């Protein structure tokens, strides 16, 4: 890595803005063929990956799931690397149709809806959405409106589980762009060893001879000319043929008035300005002893018309009389999630109201001895969980302008918001970084 105080490498072929999964995957591809500078605003690489050690476990406050692993290029590439190195696999594969990891939704009144029980009805209901039309801005309704209009209440309440996936309240979510089969997408893998391994994997693939990685180097402006692109940053100015911007969409929204010193196409400007940013706080709760019932998978608890998803994923690790899981994960969407990220001390007092349906009556609620909370929404270089779609928005208007870029492909974008397959996910960021790099190399 380069110290920003030293003379920077001022004339690379490509500048990559951001050293998260998308930025690193782009740099890996580019560094095999040309000179590349990676400018990272924070004092570490990894973007929204955030692993930490507590006791003998590693936890993630950032991304921790690989979705739809049969069609997940990142997971496939990492597993191949692990196997070739002789290391042991570090993830647990879970089929979301498995009754041993089912999802329950428990409403204020105590009524229980099981997502698996209503999945067939939800699939049938998806046909109704198709009749609404393709133009979400004209025909869309919120997921809540959709549930009340077309579904039986017992089925509709199960849709609240989407809030902890999409990061929006169901009153905000687009029904057209949130297909009811979202929760039934095959096999996922949960990473127990800390997803910093993903970043280590990408970093190991960089051609160091062609790569300069500079930390603490936020970009202040990007301007276009006939001969190339000028990128101004805290580490100095860089003149290059192409720039790939992988900063989170919420950061682009905040920076856009001054970031692009040359005009960008109206569809691209609208995509950045109008995008919806999900808020999803992640909380790791470590307890001195276990107090929740056995046999639970994921439980979405609704209290005062707000939902929280609890995951008992660590129950899936081998337990015996000497080793009992004492950790729960909580996913908190919307305003409550933002509030908890602003004030970490409020996390357990708030979550304690939601956790009651999980409690073993013979034990009672036990206060945690460690509470770890994400900080996505208050980090100035992240500003939210990931991109999402609210009522009236469609993926076409958000993703396509980002994928097309500007300035005759001199300005390109990559990230979880720049792909249709894997939007909002690690794999989407990974693939989009590779795709942007291939555009540059094919120019």
Question: Which H helix or E strand runs over 178?
Answer: none
Q: What angle do CA 174, 176, 182 make, to 5 degrees?
A: 85
Euclidean distance between CA atoms 392 and 176, whole angstroms: 9
Q: What is the 3-state secondary structure (H, E, C) of 81-130?
A: HHHHHCCCCCEEEEECCCHHHCEEEECCCCCEEEHHHHHHHHHHHHHHHH
219 annotated to bind ligand: yes
Q: Is residue 226 part of an annotated ligand binding site?
A: no
Q: Which helix (H) or strand (E) holds 159?
A: none
Between CA 121 and CA 113 the distance in angstroms is 13
List of residues 6+ apart from 115 with CB closer than 8 A: 102, 103, 104, 105, 158, 161, 183
CA distance 138 to 133: 8
- Residues 273, 277, 281: CA angle, nearest 5 degrees: 160
Determine if residue 359 is labeled as part of a ligand binding site: no
Longest alpha-carbon distance in the chain: 73
Asked if 269 and 257 touch (Cβ cutoff 8 Å), the reply is: no
Does 41 appear as a known binding residue?
A: yes
SS3 call for 263? coil
Phi, psi of 285 (to 5 degrees): -110, 115
**Closest C-alpha to 163, from 302, 295, 261:** 302
Buried b (16+ CB within 10 A) or exposed e, 343-369: eeeebbebbeebbebbeeeeeeeeebe
At which residue do the structure tokens 């005759």 appear?
A: 408
Cα 331 from Cα 355, distance rounded (Å): 12
Alpha-carbon span 109 to 98, nearest angstrom: 27
Radius of gyration of the chain measured on its C-alpha atoms: 22
Known binding positions for substrate: 331
Known binding positions for FAD: 40-41, 219
Known binding positions: 40-41, 219, 331
């Amino acid at each position: 890595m380069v110290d920003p105080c030293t003379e920077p490498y001022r004339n690379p072929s490509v500048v990559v803005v951001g050293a998260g999964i998308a930025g690193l995957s782009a740099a890996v591809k580019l560094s095999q063929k040309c000179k590349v500078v990676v400018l990272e605003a924070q004092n570490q690489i990894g973007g929204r990956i955030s692993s930490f050690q507590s006791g003998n476990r590693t936890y993630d406050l950032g991304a921790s799931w690989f979705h739809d692993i049969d069609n997940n290029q990142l997971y496939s590439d990492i597993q191949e690397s692990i196997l070739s190195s002789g290391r042991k696999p570090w993830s647990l594969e879970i089929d979301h149709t498995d009754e041993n990891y089912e999802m329950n939704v428990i409403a204020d009144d105590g009524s229980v809806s099981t997502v698996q029980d209503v999945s067939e009805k939800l699939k049938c209901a998806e046909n109704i959405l198709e009749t609404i039309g393709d133009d979400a801005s004209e025909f869309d309704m919120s997921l809540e409106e959709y549930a009340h209009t077309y579904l039986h209440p017992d089925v509709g309440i199960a849709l609240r589980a989407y809030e902890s996936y999409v990061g929006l309240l169901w009153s905000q979510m687009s029904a057209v762009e949130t297909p009811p089969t979202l929760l039934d997408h095959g096999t996922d893998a949960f990473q127990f060893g800390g997803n910093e391994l993903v970043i280590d994997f990408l970093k190991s693939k960089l051609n160091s001879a062609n790569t300069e990685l500079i930390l603490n180097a936020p970009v202040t402006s990007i301007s276009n000319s006939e001969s190339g692109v000028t990128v101004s940053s805290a580490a100095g100015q860089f003149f290059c043929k192409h720039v790939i911007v992988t900063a989170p969409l919420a950061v682009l929204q905040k920076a856009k008035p001054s970031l692009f010193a040359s005009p960008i196409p109206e569809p691209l400007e609208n995509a950045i300005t109008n995008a919806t940013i999900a808020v999803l706080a992640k909380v790791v709760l470590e307890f001195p002893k276990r107090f929740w019932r056995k046999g639970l998978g994921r439980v979405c608890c609704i209290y005062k018309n707000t939902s929280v998803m609890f995951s008992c994923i660590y129950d899936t690790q081998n337990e015996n009389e000497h080793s009992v899981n004492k950790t729960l994960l909580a996913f908190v969407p919307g305003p409550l999630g933002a509030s908890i990220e602003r004030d970490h001390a409020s996390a357990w007092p708030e979550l304690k109201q939601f956790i009651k349906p999980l409690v073993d009556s013979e034990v009672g609620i036990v206060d945690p001895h460690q509470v770890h909370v994400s900080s996505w929404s208050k980090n100035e270089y992240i500003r939210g969980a990931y991109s999402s779609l609210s009522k009236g928005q469609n993926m076409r208007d958000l993703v396509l302008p980002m994928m097309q870029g500007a300035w005759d492909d001199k300005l390109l974008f990559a990230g979880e918001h720049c792909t249709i397959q894997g939007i909002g996910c690690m794999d989407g960021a990974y693939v989009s970084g590779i795709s942007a790099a291939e555009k540059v190399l094919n120019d």
